[in-house]
Structure 1
Amino acid sequence: MSESAVDPDEVEHVADLARVNLDPEERERFTEQFADILSSFETLDEVPEVEPASELTNVMRPDEVETSLDQDEALENAPDREDGFFKGPRVS
């Protein structure tokens, strides 16, 4: 990582944009943390590119139209129902 990746003035500028007040200790700590984050991105740049598979395969099953349950069948095992609908607990 280059030495001038992040300086305290840049951290202060970002903090001003975010409307965050930093004391000098926080500014120094965030400068180090931002430098570490940028270093991690540089490491990701070193990962070799892998050629994608030449042919993609659909692993999903095809959609099939089927008959659905009627209202009485759907509500058959419902612990609580009201006016032909599932009834759940009240949410405040």
Structure 2
Amino acid sequence: MSEITPELVRHLGVLARIQLSEEEVQRLTGQLDVIVDNIAKVSEVATPDVPATSHPIPLQNVFRPDVIGQTLTLEQALQNAPDSADGRFRVTAILGEEQ
């Protein structure tokens, strides 16, 4: 027995403020009915003793600890820069900004 009717789809379209053609109503009626049937099937096998999960395999953090390692000195960081001044990279002004 179908729970989704064309009238219900039209009503949902009005609530969502979506103008649906008759062809769309017919297509969505069938699609939504299949979705509701599939949800009902899942509900049949979902029992209280089966915990809900978001992933089939338990997830764990795969990132390394955030530990400060060897860093570049100011001179090393600027050694290949085309231009630098006062310990900073010097670049041309962009977007018409004047300095």
TM range (shorter): 0.5 to 0.7
Matched residues, number: 82
Structure 2 residue corresponding to 1:64, chosen from 67, 78, 98: 67
Q: CA deviation at 1:69?
A: 2.7
* Distance change in 2, residues 1:57/1:27 (3 Å): closer
* Aligned equivalents of 1:37, 1:22: Cα separation in 2: 19
Q: CA deviation at 1:20?
A: 1.6
* Aligned equivalents of 2:22, 2:10: Cα separation in 1: 10
* Aligned equivalents of 2:41, 2:79: Cα separation in 1: 57
Q: Which is higher, the Rg of structure 1 or of structure 2? A: 2
- TM (normalized to structure 1)? 0.54
8 Å contact from structure 1 (residues 11, 27) kept in 2: yes
Secondary structure (helix, strand or coil) at the match of 1:65 reads: coil
8 Å contact from structure 1 (residues 8, 27) kept in 2: yes
- TM (normalized to structure 2)? 0.51
Q: Residues 1-92 of structure 1 correspond to what in structure 2 (within 5 A)?
A: 3-45=1-43, 46=45, 49=50, 60-70=63-73, 73-74=76-77, 84=89
